[in-house]
A and B are shown apart, each in its own frame.
Chain A
Amino acid sequence: MCTVCGCGEGETKIDGHSPARLYRRVHAHPHQHGHDHHHHEGGEPHPGAAQSRRVRVEQDILSRNDAYAAGNRRHFAEHGIFALNLVSSPGSGKTTLLTRTIERLGGKTRAAVIEGDQQTSLDADRIRATGAPAVQVNTGKGCHLDAHMVGHALERLALTDDSLLLIENVGNLVCPAAFDLGEAHKVAILSVTEGEDKPLKYPDMFAAADVMLLNKVDLLPYLDFNVPLCIEYARRINPDIRVILTSATSGDGMEEWLEWLDAGMQQASARKTDEVETLKRRIAGLEAALAAKG
């Protein structure tokens, strides 16, 4: 996890800008001290400085991230947006897979991308070249995207209803597993130029993912990669994981992947409609109740 690799958030940038709100901890400090002094001056009851007392907290360390993630998820649900969190090691072919996916979806599907990388806007530039809107989040020293960064990136994207949001996480098979972004599914991308034992070596990620794309299968003739064994390892960690063999270059498996995307989008859109209908019924019910009172 991040405790091991020493990632931090102080250098986070979204499309090159560093919104002050992102500097949660650093900027919160002087602010909070100010508040404390205010309380003292206000003469609020305060225990003696040397007296110590116990305060129960009982809160999950990731509770803040989870609260932001819940906010993002609510936003996606209200707008029928199908959001995916794409996770992999660096170099698995995520960005190429995304550009090809967007090209194949064509104009009929509204797709947008949030790109997470430590540095550069190279990936967002590649996405924008396809015509799809993209926001680049640079995490600086950070090794993963968190739900708060994604929330800010959403402000810049202005997604349309019933669209597809592809969030390309920082290339890292460890930390992104723990950080919920509010997505419908995590999709793990593993390329056949890596080892087939990756699911066993980085189990948290494959346990967290609902889909594994085994990518670059066009290279299989030149490699000693055991596909059935890799799938067996992935299912040992996660018996329900769906596996799709893809090659962004040759186009193999892209139909199956696009069908899966399409089904997810339709579901997200249908849920939104259901929710709107439910709300309308509630409004009608409340109005009727109000009329009866009046």
Chain B
Amino acid sequence: MSLAESVLQLIEDSAKTNGFTRVRTVWLEIGQLAGVEAEAMRFCFDAVTRGSIADGAALEIIATPGSGRCTDCGRTVAVTARYEPCPACGGYAVQIAGGAEMRVRELDVE
């Protein structure tokens, strides 16, 4: 819920700088490893935007894939969950390189 509130704050900040009064669509970039449930985000987003400039806005969630680099074997690997062993060598030294982001990417506004 507080993440959804943070999204709305970023939208309201952007409204001040860019002078818009209504938001039609919000594009969020949520990494596979960010620990955010897309459905929970949708539910909370609808709840917190009610009565705001983003009331009724469509929420588009772009899921970015997880990736990491194993410091044991030096390979770049696809990561589906944090703290899992390296799929190549089985070690636990995988450093997350991508898929942890939670960003507001773009807005469609009036």
Contacts and interface: CB of A to CB of B under 8 A. Distances in A.
Contacts of B83: 200, 203, 207, 236-237
Interface in B1-31: 1-12, 14-16, 18-22, 24, 28
A186 B15 CA distance: 35
Interface stretch (A54-62, A79-87, A213-221, A260-268): A54-62
Interface of A: 1-9, 24-25, 28-29, 32, 35-36, 39, 44, 46-47, 49-65, 141-142, 144, 146, 175, 178, 200, 203-204, 207, 236-237, 239
Interface string B81-107: 011000000001100000001111111
A9 B1 CA distance: 9
B41 interface: yes
A204 B2 contact: no
Nearest to A65: B6
Contact of B2 (A2, A29, A49): A2
Nearest to B21: A36
B40 A4 contact: yes
A9 B106 contact: no
Contact of B3 (A24, A35, A61, A200): A61
A52 B16 contact: no
A50 B110 contact: yes
Nearest to B34: A1
B92 A32 contact: no
10 closest A-B pairs (Cβ-Cβ)? A3-B40, A61-B102, A57-B104, A203-B83, A55-B107, A2-B2, A8-B1, A61-B6, A6-B1, A3-B41
A8 B24 contact: no
B2 A52 contact: no
Interface in B49-106: 51-53, 82-83, 92-93, 101-106
Contacts of A2: 1-3
B16 A58 contact: no
Contacts of A63: 6, 10
B106 A54 contact: yes
Nearest to A35: B16
Given A39-B19, A57-B106, 16 more contacts: A2-B3, A3-B1, A5-B1, A7-B2, A8-B2, A25-B48, A36-B15, A44-B19, A49-B21, A53-B20, A59-B10, A61-B6, A61-B104, A141-B1, A237-B83, A239-B93
